[in-house]
Amino acid sequence: MRPLIVIRRTPKIDFMGWHKIGFALSGLLTIGSIVLFLTVGLNYGIDFVGGTLIEVRSTTGPANLADMRQRLDALHIGEPSLQGFGPPTDVLIRLPRQPGGDAEQERAVQLVRQALGSGVEYRRTEVVGPSVGSELIRAGVIATILALFAIAAYIWFRFEWQFGVGGMVSTLHDVITTVGLFALFQLEFNLTTLAAILTIAGYSVNDTVVIYDRVRESLRKYPRMPFRDLINLALNETLSRTILTVSTVALAVLSLLFLGGQVLRGFSIAMLWGVVIGTYSSLFIAAPILYYVRPNRAAIARASEWFFPTSPSRGRPRAFPI
């Protein structure tokens, strides 16, 4: 059975010729994302800011969001947020946290039930306190930072510290720009979005490791090739694999986006952006950074000679028999 091949011949795209433009674009995206986060901020979901989430289903046909919003506004319990959820009969109602303790939150829920009447079915009610939300924010930040350092440590152990620098920078770039995307469009940032960001970090480093492995292999095969040409060769040789991976992941994420409903919308958007930006950063950030930090070619050659001694007859790496 022949493997699926997208590009039958290794292309000769000069990725390194575009890397300075890539650095400039990434710098603008990163700075813009940080500015948006500090000025506009994120649209935190109920998981982080606290409040009440009520999921209802209309039993008399498609839900009339305008009428429901008018009824809830008359309660004067803060600005409610109503959102279609799945079929036209389902609605998500978000209420801001009420001043006071749990009794006030329960009172707000009872007022909503009275205002909407018996024409709706209450499927889910969740109340999140502000202390829980702050703990979730802190835990999410710590988890993201630890994941980034774990990724850098893995790449450092797997290759050399120069590779770890490139992997860390590209992964951090992907995370920051994803946060900037949510700040720009004010998409709801909740726990599923945080899970998507951690998934993006894993996807990005997976693509980067494949490219780095090909760079290291090329360093062993072509010890005298100019480093710029060697990076271009590695990127072109892995381009077919990159296209296949991006295509398959994008198809799965698009299915989630259009068929997964409102609950998975934020996750799907974050993942779709992560697939694009993760591939971009692997090609135009992670690999070109190696051109400036320059891994130790002699050490890589010695490691190659230790594991795969050179055959004197052919001058090629000779693997030990198994």
Domain 15-42+133-303 sits in which CATH superfamily? Multidrug efflux transporter AcrB transmembrane domain (1.20.1640.10)
Cβ atoms within 10 Å, residue 70 = 11
Contact 237, 214 (CB under 8 A): yes
Q: How far is CA 311 from CA 67, 223, 305, 314, 316, in A?
A: 81, 16, 10, 6, 6
Helix axes 161-185, 191-221, angle to 10 degrees: 150
| CATH fold group of domain 51-128 | Alpha-Beta Plaits (3.30.70)
Which residues, listed in sequence order, are joined to residue 83 by a DSSP beta bridge?
A: 92
Which residues, listed in sequence order, are joined to residue 189 by a DSSP beta bridge?
A: 44
Mean pLDDT for the stretch of residues 102-123: 84
* Mean of per-residue pLDDT scores for the chain: 81
Mean pLDDT for the stretch of residues 81-94: 81
Structural domain boundaries of the chain? Answer: 15-42+133-303, 51-128
Between 300 and 248, residue with greater pLDDT: 248
What lies within 8 Å, CB to CB, of 104 at 6+ separation is 98
Q: How far is the C-alpha of 93 from the C-alpha of 72, rounded, in Å? A: 10
- CB contact burial 270-297 (16+ within 10 A = b; e otherwise): bbbbbbebbbbbbbbbbbbbbeeeebee
Q: Hunting for tokens 């390194």 — which residue is that?
A: 16
Q: Three-class SS of residue 199?
A: helix
The rounded percent of the chain whose pLDDT value lies above 70 is 87
Asked if domains 15-42+133-303 and 51-128 share a fold, the reply is no
Give the residue ranges of DSSP H helices in 159-223. Answer: 161-185, 191-221
Lowest mean pLDDT among 54-58, 96-100, 104-108, 244-248: 96-100
pLDDT band, residue 21 (cuts 50/70/90): very high
pLDDT at site 130: 62
Q: Which pTM was predicted? A: 0.75
Q: How far is the C-alpha of 97 from the C-alpha of 117, rounded, in Å? A: 22
Mean pLDDT for the stretch of residues 278-300: 84
Instruction: Please choose, from the candidates 95, 92, 106, 105, the residue with its C-alpha nearest in 3D space to the C-alpha of residue 49.
Output: 95
